[in-house]
Amino acid sequence: MVQSQVKSALAEDIGSGDLTALLVPARQTAKAKVIVREHAVICGIDWFNECFKQVDANVKIDWLVTEGERVQPNQTLCNMTGLARSLLTSERCALNFLQTLSATATKSAKYVDAIAGTSAKILDTRKTIPNLRLAQKYAVTVGGGHNQRLALYDGILIKENHIAAAGSISKVMQQAFALNCDKSIQIEVENLQQLQEALEAGATSILLDNFSLDLLHEAVRMNNSAVKKAILEASGGITLNNVHEVAKTGVDRISIGAITKDINAIDLSMQIIPNT
């Protein structure tokens, strides 16, 4: 995955060649360092390294931090040596991967920290950057979160339109079980009546869409009283301001689209110093 994503990114950026790098003497060597300008959870070291490797395998990178480490503003992340042209050509793609995946890991960690002391887990969604889904889902785990289904082929999530097309919750659940696809089956409900129907239909994983705190408490109570309990997942309208209260209701999981789609790239700077 890393090699193919980096290859594609470099092809997009370099194309027929780095014209500006030609202004630097071909044999000029240089040193460089990457500095982070804000608090962050570092993620994407393999992608960063691969960018330089594919451009010039002779570039040496000495990391001063590890994957998943929490860093402080103005901290040096790594030192590098190599041909100046190679460092300059690889710089943007390498930083793009590192700043994006670190942003995902950092946002995930904020949500995970916010529910500390509860039994709930933070999950991602499919709301990811195109062509970076697996990378972002990896970054979520680096930040302490967990992965929902990877893609449409990786599980069944029954939503209101599926229910409407099938005729009822019980019917759509029967059809889902009949597939016998050996994948997770989750159904989304929008009110307590639908929750009761889903439980009676044998649902083992239920997504509670845009439930208020009071409704989440009642949903957990209903689930605990059911003959067979389901995994309850809260989703919709959940932010850092209220996620702890949501977790305290007793739900098992909380899915947050924002940890992959509403991210701000971590502020990184690569400083190059030519060797004299």
Q: One of 70, 126, 127, 133 is an active-site residue; which one?
A: 127
Domain of 42 in residue numbering reads as 2-112+263-274
Q: Are residues 160 and 226 in the same domain?
A: yes
Q: Are residues 120 and 257 in the same domain?
A: yes
Q: Are residues 149 and 69 in the same domain?
A: no
- Domain holding 191: CATH number? 3.20.20.70
Does the active-site annotation cover 159? yes
Average pLDDT of the chain is: 95
Q: Are residues 108 and 137 in the same domain?
A: no
**pTM across the whole model:** 0.93
Give 276's pLDDT tier (boundaries 50, 70, 90).
Answer: low
Q: Are residues 187 and 226 in the same domain?
A: yes
Q: How far is CA 78 from CA 5, 97, 175, 269, in A?
A: 22, 15, 53, 11
Q: Are residues 254 and 183 in the same domain?
A: yes
Q: One of 53, 92, 133, 248 is an active-site residue; which one?
A: 92
Does the active-site annotation cover 209? yes
Determine the Cα–Cα distance for residues 250 and 61; give it in Å rounded to an integer.
Answer: 46
* Chain segment 9-43, per-residue pLDDT in tens: 999 999 999 999 999 999 999 999 999 999 999 99
Q: Are residues 120 and 74 in the same domain?
A: no
Determine the Cα–Cα distance for residues 70 and 33; give it in Å rounded to an integer.
Answer: 18
Q: Are residues 156 and 185 in the same domain?
A: yes
Q: Are residues 94 and 194 in the same domain?
A: no
Q: One of 209, 218, 245, 267 is an active-site residue; which one?
A: 209
Please give the average per-residue pLDDT across 115-137, as a whole number: 96
Q: Are residues 66 and 187 in the same domain?
A: no
CB 253 within 8 A of CB 219: no
pLDDT of the residue at 274? 74
Does the active-site annotation cover 197? no
First to last CA, the chain: 38
- Domain holding 61: CATH number? 3.90.1170.20
What domain count does the chain have?
2
Q: Are residues 126 and 201 in the same domain?
A: yes
Q: Are residues 32 and 122 in the same domain?
A: no
Q: One of 50, 188, 233, 252 is an active-site residue; which one?
A: 188
Tell me: pLDDT of 253 over 80. Answer: yes
Q: One of 53, 159, 229, 261 is an active-site residue; which one?
A: 159
User: Residue for token digits 């194309």?
Assistant: 15
